[in-house]
């Protein structure tokens, strides 16, 4: 069924949005202050502190001194080898030839290699996409000609990196070569547009699933709600891989900034229905990508 609604208005004033953010922050501040004024919390900490100052300090100092004297002879002996396997968790932003992603990644040392894994969530776009605006229609906005679906992608990556140049100090830049397999899943659902009805006295827009074979381009007033028709979508899995060069730097030893430049491919089990014309759709997506990521490294003795 088609629902006739009024002409959509373009909101240009962002003052209310900023005010809403400020209000939300203030509310969080009141909750934070309320937590720290909780009397039972501070009462327990105060009692523990007084006990430590009155009775516990001497016992703690004596225990530390005894442990230091007992291990004094062992200080000159070589320490046994400890397998220190640092892990790095972080967040990244990935821009590729067919869209962009945000994701979570992990890096862990494994002998001569580094094990890498990542989970990315983003938007699939075709570089051939062209957006236009019908300026003669009231309140019109941009829409893509002949594109008939929205597409979101979820991809899991698993791979290994070879360290070409280690980062040993703040001023160093480390280099790595990474190769990974990835499992992409695309979710595609119909794209809705505003169709203008020029009837006298009752003119307005109707949100309908875009069909270029039926709808006149001159009567399209823009893309309708992003979530319309979401339940009518379909999942399309695939398989892919990538090869990339990574540059790593950071102000601290356990904080890592990474810039990645690489080439990847994704192949889906069938063509993604991005376009109205079947000959424009494809299931093989080679792409060049750039990733910027920030991570925090910690050591775990195993």
The pLDDT assigned to 302 comes to 38
Rounded Cα distance between 151 and 149, Å, is: 6
The pLDDT assigned to 122 comes to 95
Q: In this predicted model, what pLDDT tens digit does every residue of 227-245 receive, in sequence order?
A: 999 999 999 999 999 999 9
Q: In this predicted model, what pLDDT tens digit does every residue of 189-212 receive, in sequence order?
A: 999 999 998 888 788 899 999 999
Rounded Cα distance between 118 and 203, Å, is: 50
* 275, 144 contact by CB (below 8 A): no
The pLDDT assigned to 35 comes to 38
Rounded Cα distance between 288 and 9, Å, is: 38
Q: In this predicted model, what pLDDT tens digit does every residue of 70-121 receive, in sequence order?
A: 333 333 333 334 444 578 889 999 999 899 999 999 998 877 889 999 999 9
Taking Cα atoms as reference points, which of 40, 9, 43, 229 lies closest to residue 138?
9
Which run of H or E residues covers position 17? helix 15-36
Q: In this predicted model, what pLDDT tens digit does every residue of 111-151 receive, in sequence order?
A: 788 999 999 999 998 888 989 999 888 888 999 999 999 99
Given a cut of 90, is residue 5 above it in pLDDT?
no
* Phi then psi dihedrals of residue 4, to 5 deg: -90, 125
Query: What is the average pLDDT value for the chain, to the nearest integer?
Result: 77
Distances (CA, A) of 74 to 62, 79, 121, 262: 20, 9, 52, 50
Beta bridge partners of 104: 91, 119
Q: Where are the domains of the chain?
A: 14-80, 83-301
Rounded Cα distance between 177 and 113, Å, is: 10
Given a cut of 50, is residue 64 above it in pLDDT?
no
User: Which pair of tokens denotes residue 133?
Assistant: 């605006």
Mean pLDDT of 148-166: 94
Higher pLDDT, 286 or 42: 286
Is 0.85 surpassed by the pTM of this model?
Answer: no
CA 206 to chain centre: 34
Mean pLDDT of 267-283: 94
Instruction: Give the domain 83-301 fold.
Output: Porin (2.40.160)
Q: Which residues contact 280 (CB under 8 A, 6 or more apart)?
A: 128, 146, 274
């Amino acid at each position: 069924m088609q629902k006739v609604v009024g002409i959509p208005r373009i909101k240009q004033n962002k003052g209310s949005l900023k005010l809403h953010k400020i209000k939300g922050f203030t509310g969080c501040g009141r909750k934070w202050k309320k937590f720290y004024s909780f009397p039972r919390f501070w009462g327990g900490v105060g009692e523990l502190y007084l006990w430590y100052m009155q009775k516990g300090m001497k016992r703690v100092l004596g225990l530390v001194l005894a442990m230091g004297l007992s291990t004094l002879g062992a200080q000159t002996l070589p320490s046994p080898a400890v397998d220190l396997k640092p892990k790095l968790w972080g967040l990244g932003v990935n821009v590729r030839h067919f869209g962009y992603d945000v994701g979570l990644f992990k890096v862990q040392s494994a002998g001569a290699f580094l094990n890498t894994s990542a989970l990315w969530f983003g938007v699939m776009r075709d570089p051939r996409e062209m957006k236009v605006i019908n300026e003669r229609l009231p309140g019109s906005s941009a829409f893509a000609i002949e594109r008939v679906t929205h597409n979101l992608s979820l991809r899991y990556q698993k791979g290994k990196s070879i360290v070409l140049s280690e980062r040993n100090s703040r001023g160093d830049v480390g280099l790595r070569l990474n190769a990974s397999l990835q499992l992409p899943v695309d979710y595609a659902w119909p794209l809705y547009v505003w169709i203008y009805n020029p009837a006298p006295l009752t003119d307005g827009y109707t949100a309908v699933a875009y069909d270029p074979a039926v709808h006149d381009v001159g009567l399209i007033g823009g893309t309708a709600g992003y979530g319309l028709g979401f339940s009518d979508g379909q999942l399309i899995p695939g398989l892919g891989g990538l090869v990339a060069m990574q540059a790593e730097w950071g102000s601290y030893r356990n904080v890592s900034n990474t810039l990645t430049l690489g080439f990847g491919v994704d192949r889906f089990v069938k063509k993604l229905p991005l376009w109205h014309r079947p000959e424009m759709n494809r299931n093989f997506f080679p792409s060049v990508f750039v990733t910027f990521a920030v991570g925090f490294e910690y050591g775990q003795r195993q």
